[in-house]
Each structure stands twice: as structure tokens, then as C-alpha cells.
Amino acid sequence: MLEISRRNMLGLAMAPAAGAFLNTAQAMCPVRQPVVAPSDNRPFKSVAAVVTIYRPFSHSDVILGKILEGWEQKGGPGPALKLASMYVDQFPSDDMARQISQKHGVPIFDSIEKAITVGGDQIPVDGVLSIGEHGDYPYSDLGQQLYPRRRFFEEIAATFEKYKLVVPVFNDKHLGPAWNDGLWMYQRAQQLQIPLMAGSSLPVGHRKSADTIPPGTQIDGAVGIGYSGLDVYGIHALEFLQWHLERRVGAETGVKWVQGLKGDEMWKAVDSGEVRKDLLEAAFAAVPTAANAVMREDEQAALFLFEYENGLRAAQFMFQCATGTGLAMAIRNRPIFTSVFDERTEPKYPHFAWLLKAIEQMVHSGKPTYPVERTLLTGGILDRALTSLLKDGGARRETPELAIRYTPVDYPFAQHNSL
């Protein structure tokens, strides 16, 4: 916990304008992040949950359910966390929140402030989990479902400010998801010195192979493969790709331009050599696909093409004929390297257990387990790629706002970690 002092408050008046970044870390080789001891050896810390919806197999279910019922949600061992309270934004016909509240004695409050204070006049919890995913919310003209992640964070931050105390916050998936909202959330966290972590479960979950690449690798090119909705699953694909690319020499310094393409223009980028065909073919061969899938017959395919500040070019394809997420990279003086996410469903979507493990570490340490800037960057790439694709006719967009520098953390994925 961090008390908000008068000095912190004065810092609010000196906060940067939108588009400016507080670069708290210089880009360098990733530092090794120590993994905490198994959960049953440590005292429990309490968390409040702020969620859009709590129904079967929602993100609330597969994250909070592991706090309440163990890593496998079968009553066995789980994280050293206790769910103290909940705020639930919507209650559909298949709502679980009220049942869970009664079963586990977790109160549901009608405001975010009350959830964080557990109905009292101070903040007794050690962390807040903001799960703005699933529910009945409108869409933007970029196809982004406008989950109330910014509204949630506004009220979380306002509560911290009112009670002059901050605790770590985890935001599920990308900030925003609209860029301006995500940027606002990041800057607000910087202003109040809120330890903030966000992102997808893909970087920490199981992979088809335990093979990895060390920090400081010389990467000369990369092609990612994703599937399904451009925004809802595009962020997962980009987070998985960025986990690998931030391990390159000199990372991370940000992205200087982004482009979104479909149809003939997308394949022109491949045939002209702008996208490395050998990496695309290797990545597509590595990921699961529909039977007899042919890339060029996928009429719904899209490409997010972007270049980093250091000149590395990356391509993220979204194929509807694919059924998994993976990538291929050109590593200097080595054969093509491929990595594929292992999308296991049992026990109860275990990649969320590994995500919760990282959240648990943040709540216990008081520090983000890995930098939120990764998710700020991937969310920005996605927003700008969708803008290029859907509003700008595929034009390349210069992105000085994505010159986001951060020091990566060498946090392990599932095969190199333990619950």
C-alpha cells in the first residue's frame, strides 16, 4: 500500500498532457523477475473485484473462481488471496455473482467505492482486480466492444484519492480498449503512483513447446498468427507476439508506424517481400487450423503491419481459418523459431491460473510483476491498426504516440513456472 501524500497530489497538477509519456524505465535487456514461493507458504492478502459480469466461463468466473475454489476450481490449493468484496455492473439471466456471494460469504456492493472499502470508511484490501470483459456493451466504429474499463479505473482511482491510499490494480486484457481511454488510465496511474498491471493470459500460459529465447536475442523479423475477432482476439495475438519481441536486443523503445490491410493489398505486402513469406508459411504451418485451410482463400483475413523504432518490422495476421495463436521469428544465425500458444480448456482454462499467479505476486509484492507498458503498447498498435484498416483505407499511420519505452521483465510462462 502507498499513502497519497501532499507531494503526490501536487504531482497531479504537473501531470503530462495526453500523448506524453512518463518513461520510468530505460530500454535494456530484460531483467529476471523472481517467482514467488508456492502460495500455501504465504499469508493471504485480500482483494476487491470490480467486474462487468459474472456468469459461467466468463473471465470473472475463471479468474475469481480460482481465488475462491483453487487453481483448478475444484476446491484444491489456490493462490494466497482472499476475495473480500465485489462490484458487479450487470446481472444477466445466467448470473453467478449472487450465488457465489452467498456460497462464499463475499458481499456485493452497489458502487466501486463501497467494494474497495468493503462498506467501511477506509481501504482494507491489498489489491483490486478490474475485470471489464463480457457483458452487454456497445461497439465502436472500429469494432471494439466498449467495456467500461476506463470508468472502472476512474472510480478506483477516485476512491484511492479520497481515502489517500493506493493498492495494486490489475486490469484484465488491454487498457481502454480505445487508445485515448487506455492512455488516460496509464497516465492516471502514473500520477497517483498506482501499481498497475494489465494484459492477456497468453504470455504466461502453456505453449506447445517449452522452448524459449533468451533476453538480448538478435531478432531480424517476425510474423504472428491470430484468429477470430480483430479486437477481442487481436489483443491476445499481439500480447503473445510482443512477449517474444521485447526480448530482442535493445528493446523496448516503441513503434513508429502501423498499417492495417485486407484483401489484395494484404497479399501484395507478402508478395513484394514487405512481409517475409518464409516466416508467414512457418507460422501458419505451426498453428492449428481448420481442415484443409488455405491462407489465400480466407476472405476475412487481415494484417496488422508495423515497424519498431529500431527498424524491426513485424506482421500480425488474423485468419478466420486458423484456430490458434502462434508466431515465427527470424533469429540471426539460427533456424526459424516458432512458438504456439497451447489453448487448454481443462482444468477450467488453466492459462488464467498462470495469469492469476502473476496477479498474486503483484498483490503480495506491491509492484507490477511485469510492465503495464507492454499492454499500453499492444493496445495502441491494435487501435491504430484498426483505424488504418477501417477508417483510413489501409494507409500507413505514423505513431509518435507509440514511442513507448520500457524495460521488459523475464517472467516465466507455465512450463518454466509453478503454482
Looking at residue 11, what is its pLDDT? 44
Grid cell 483505424 — which residue? 387
Looking at residue 3, what is its pLDDT? 76
Q: Which three cell numbers stand for residue 162?
A: 479520497
Partner residues linked to 322 by β-bridges: 289
**What is the rounded average pLDDT for all residues in the chain?**
93
pLDDT exceeds 80 at position 13: no
Partner residues linked to 258 by β-bridges: 306, 397
The angle formed by the CA atoms of residues 228, 277 and 230, to the nearest 5 degrees, is 15
Give the integer Cα–Cα distance in Å for 379 and 185.
Answer: 12
Q: What is the pLDDT of residues 310-322, one digit of tens each?
A: 999 999 999 999 9
At residue 319, the 3 state secondary structure works out as strand
- Mean pLDDT across 274-295: 97
Looking at residue 34, what is its pLDDT? 60
- Mean pLDDT across 260-268: 98
**Residues whose CB falls within 8 Å of the CB of residue 294, separated by 6 or more in sequence, listed in order:** 321
Instruction: Kindly provide the residue ranges of all beta strands, DSSP E only, lying in 267-410, ordered along the sequence.
Output: 302-308, 313-319, 326-331, 337-340, 397-398, 409-410
In the sheet with 337-340, reading across from the earlier edge strand, the strands are: 337-340, 326-331, 219-227, 313-319, 302-308, 255-262, 397-398
Q: Widest CA span of the chain, in angstroms? A: 64
% of the chain beyond a pLDDT of 90: 90
Cα–Cα nearest to 382, from 302, 315, 265, 304:
304
Q: What is the pLDDT of residues 14-69, one digit of tens each?
A: 344 333 444 444 444 566 566 655 556 779 999 999 999 999 999 999 999 999 99
The structural domains of the chain, with segments of one domain joined by +, span: 21-203+349-369
CATH number assigned to the domain with residue range 21-203+349-369, chosen from the 4 options 3.60.150.10, 3.40.50.720, 3.40.50.450, 3.40.50.10860: 3.40.50.720
Looking at residue 30, what is its pLDDT? 64
Q: What is the pLDDT of residues 143-194, one digit of tens each?
A: 999 999 999 999 999 999 999 999 999 999 999 999 999 999 999 999 999 9
Q: What is the pLDDT of residues 324-347, one digit of tens each?
A: 999 999 999 999 999 999 999 999
